[in-house]
Amino acid sequence: MGRTSRHTSYQEELNVWQAFTDLMSNAFLIVILLLFLTIITSSLSQKKQNNDVPPIIIIQDEGAYRFASGSAEIPPKMLNYILTKIVPEIETRTKQYNINVVEVIGHTDGQPNGNVVSNLDDNLEKVVSGKLAIANLRAGSNADLGLMRALAVVKVLRDVQKQQGKLPKLSFRAYSAAQLILPNGELAAIARQEDVTRRRIEIRFTQLGKVKQVN
């Protein structure tokens, strides 16, 4: 009778241990499956995020941030805003979307820029290379003025890059849209009056790829 009892007890202990082992194996498989699903979900989410279009940053040309008429000199409060708000935002967006090029686009309203003879053709390269200050440029058109203002912002960003080590490995491009594009992206109608809603600096993000020549 004692042998039967001990044998039965041994069998029960063996069955309990086997059941426990099976339970742990199943639990381990479930954990591995959940981890695998988490990795896939995270990867898909990151891919979707990187495929999204980065938001456009707008610096509205009004109030304390307003350029003087016909000028590309950045007002002090706008400069502080660029340094304290825009630069951190650019850092965040370029990392988030894997960006290597920052485009700065100057927009004006439709007011004629006056009877000024442009000197951009003669001095533009000198300004970009730093041999000449932007204040030495004279805008003969809204296209000139938009480009000058975009260049002024680009200069600030490049100075931050060189002097503070921020915005590493980023390239900056300055463009002008003159009075052609409304804030909603549509082409502007002919309007020669002052319109503060159209004057702005747009900062856009892109990724520069290799040039492919199509034959």
Q: Do residues 166 and 91 make contact, with C-beta atoms less than 8 angstroms apart?
A: yes
187 belongs to a structural domain: yes
Check residue 207 and give its pLDDT.
85
**Residues 107 and 145 occupy one common structural domain:** yes
**pTM, two decimal places:** 0.74
**Residues 94 and 17 occupy one common structural domain:** no
Q: Do residues 113 and 139 make contact, with C-beta atoms less than 8 angstroms apart?
A: yes
Q: Do residues 78 and 153 make contact, with C-beta atoms less than 8 angstroms apart?
A: no
The mean predicted confidence, pLDDT, of the chain is 85
Spatial separation of the C-alpha atoms in residues 105 and 146, rounded to whole Å: 7
Owning domain of residue 29: 1-52
Confidence of residue 69 (pLDDT cuts 50, 70, 90): confident
Which of helix, strand or coil describes residue 67? coil
Check residue 110 and give its pLDDT.
92
CATH of the domain at 130: 3.30.1330.60
List C-alpha distances in Å: 138 to 121, 156, 176: 10, 20, 15
**Residues 23 and 118 occupy one common structural domain:** no
Residue with tokens 């350029």: 67
Is the pLDDT score of 144 beyond 90?
yes
